[in-house]
Structure 1
């Protein structure tokens, strides 16, 4: 009984109308489309580094700062902007954010010096800061609980696909029309998607797809805003949700490190030219994105009738990544090593979908954007941000291969954290659902 009312009941009604379900998929496609634009605008810079260096005589430190300032803005502003979006309106916030990063990307195209470019890139980061958390909150609010892992993984995989597209398309445009046109193309794509999203997606059209409890909570919030203390209590209410945040952050250290260092690894240990190394490395990025989607869908299928199995799949994916990559980086260079690396990369972000589903299940719908902002913050602080620089620091001491041999221990640590969370999940979920039901009756 508890299992039945704890998760599926909240989304009753979403599956009863086939026309509504069709619209839900339209919203999902448009929201993922904006995520692709997000990462294309962010990563197109990497494709034009040599041109910017030649045009303005920039140092490598200055080039790096143009990339890092985006990550800095995202890390600092994700949480506060997501909280504001929960209160101001998620659809309006998405439109404003996408318009801002598109306008800032256009600003990059017309920049005349390093200072102007740095300023424009900072606003790219401000616009993108809360999009991931707010976008996935919108998506999860209109789909059944049983699809949460699949949808979260598919949505987050958009970052990997967008990164590849940004570098590939941006590089092709820059080669034929110049680096300014590369930024301009990304900006135009963003503006087109903003206009389409504004026309197609509104809070009013989303309302019939959302469970009744969401509307009750929203109505209550109009008269009484949640205090910061209450928000923190909702975000960190149980041990299992803290484990979901930490485990997710740890396990993403692997893809972040390998995305950054695979071109160098292929260049140094396989003798590939930089262009070929970058192309092969992009394939590994694609494998990671495909793995996220497949692992998320597999999680939903396995955990359909057993809620704790979300944790089990996350643990298995992390252990598979650890074993495959630990073996791969201890083998001699060759096709077998590359195949094992590819297999490890397939599972390297596999826990993304399960982690997102855990967070959604363990927090009230009214603060889902804030909850995913917290997950994004953990992902950045524990995995994405330190991965490349920590690997580089170790590589300076024991070589790049030695550093990459240590990277797989991150998902092993994540598996341990997920195992701890699994022990507490059933009881924690029952308590969260009981509190949610009590709040709904009190309204």
Structure 2
């Protein structure tokens, strides 16, 4: 099959669109927190748990379901996942109590569990390896943009029509994207348009060829650097999860904004986070074109800036200065996403790449997106949400330590992977030479 320049773009647009739906379904809940708190008399811990159950389910199931996606067919897995989370979001719209909402949220997590990893693997397979950080940052920014749309539209719909409509509209949008993807993308077309630099042992239908040698699953955690990338990325997203879940409520309580106004304001900060993912990914690719180890340096710098800005910002009195500092912190909070995805791609074999991204998703959710809302909610029940947000950024200190460890071990780790994955041997050897250059 002749490779088309249009098809990879279409794949990115559709896969990105489904990621928007993924996070719109996940984060619309934050916009209706005030309504649920009053109607069902819920504590902040219970509200936080409704957010965390999705991220927790995603984290626990990301690796096994990503492995199934690698073996069964990635486009088929994407269609099935999108249909499941859309129907589960519809279930949220008709939930009668906290327990039913929790069950529906579990099924949203089940549907979304491997989407980020399988979707990213699909995107990266049809583009050049040289753009991995940019593509990863741009793709994962869909999480922020989807959260923006979910919070923004959810807040407006909840005030105008009732909170149940917020979930119903998200469900319909998800089903539309699933139908478009099913019509335009399949595993055979993906295999035919795979970029030559990403060739792995894959069959004609897009699944991994069972007759070819497959990398062992232990390669997912075989080097200190890849483990550090998982841990550092996950811990840094702790604050992203906290902002996703609690920023609308924070603005509601600290600035006394109505839920719809608070949702709109919070959407602006989350939008900045998405823009930051894209910008930081592009900057990382430019800085690391000849010196690969700078991926780690970039991730460390982004994490440090977000830590300082958010720590200082949440200790300020309500006002313009605080909002500016939170905006700066939000911009850099997701800055590690692009570098982390690129590092994991470089440090793991091509034949299990979706599973590697599933492992990254596991860390991102268990350490970050699940832990952030739940831990901050639990602290808020004891000291108040305003004070809870003051201590939340401290987790970034541990993330910086993990990234420093990974940076130190990167040259040797990269060389080890180059010996394991002969398919990408030339690319990785060039990266290894660059990695030992001066930074």
TM-score with structure 1 setting the length? 0.85
Tell me which of 239, 264, 269 is aligned to 2:224.
239
**Structure-to-structure mapping, 1:347-366, within 5 angstroms:** 347-366=332-351
Aligned: 1:58 with 2:63? no
Aligned residue number for residue 328 of structure 1: 313
Aligned residue number for residue 285 of structure 2: 300
Aligned residue number for residue 432 of structure 2: none
What is the rounded CA distance, in whole Å, between the counterparts of 1:190 and 1:372 in structure 2?
Answer: 23
What is the rounded CA distance, in whole Å, between the counterparts of 1:113 and 1:404 in structure 2?
Answer: 28
Aligned residue number for residue 257 of structure 1: 242
Aligned residue number for residue 172 of structure 1: 156
Aligned: 1:415 with 2:397? no
What is the rounded CA distance, in whole Å, between the counterparts of 1:87 and 1:38 in structure 2?
Answer: 23
Q: How many residues align?
A: 419
What is the rounded CA distance, in whole Å, between the counterparts of 2:422 and 2:411 in structure 1?
Answer: 17
Tell me which of 208, 211, 216 is aligned to 1:223.
211
Aligned: 1:103 with 2:91? no
State whether residues 51 and 370 of structure 2, in contact with CA within 8 Å, keep that contact through their aligned partners in structure 1. no
Residues 169 and 262 (structure 1 numbering): CA distance in 2 closer, same or farther, change over 3 Å? Answer: closer
Instruction: Tell me the SS of whatever aligns to 1:218.
Output: coil
Residues 194 and 423 (structure 1 numbering): CA distance in 2 closer, same or farther, change over 3 Å? Answer: same
Residues 168 and 241 (structure 1 numbering): CA distance in 2 closer, same or farther, change over 3 Å? Answer: same
Residues 116 and 293 (structure 1 numbering): CA distance in 2 closer, same or farther, change over 3 Å? Answer: same
Aligned residue number for residue 419 of structure 2: 434
State whether residues 155 and 259 of structure 2, in contact with CA within 8 Å, keep that contact through their aligned partners in structure 1. no
Displacement, 1:89? 0.8
Aligned residue number for residue 203 of structure 1: 187
* Range that drifts further, 116-125 or 233-242: 116-125
State whether residues 48 and 373 of structure 2, in contact with CA within 8 Å, keep that contact through their aligned partners in structure 1. no
What is the rounded CA distance, in whole Å, between the counterparts of 2:51 and 2:392 in structure 1?
Answer: 23
* Range that drifts further, 253-262 or 171-180: 171-180
The Cα offsets for residues 32-62 of structure 1, whole Å up to 9 and x where unpaired, read as 10011111122333444566677xx534167
Residues 215 and 190 (structure 1 numbering): CA distance in 2 closer, same or farther, change over 3 Å? Answer: same
Aligned residue number for residue 33 of structure 1: 17
Displacement, 1:286? 1.3
TM-score with structure 2 setting the length? 0.85
Tell me which of 140, 143, 153 is aligned to 1:156.
140
Aligned residue number for residue 12 of structure 1: none
Report the aligned-residue RMSD: 2.9
Aligned residue number for residue 375 of structure 1: 360
State whether residues 62 and 358 of structure 2, in contact with CA within 8 Å, keep that contact through their aligned partners in structure 1. yes
Residues 114 and 270 (structure 1 numbering): CA distance in 2 closer, same or farther, change over 3 Å? Answer: closer
Tell me which of 52, 58, 61 is aligned to 1:77.
61
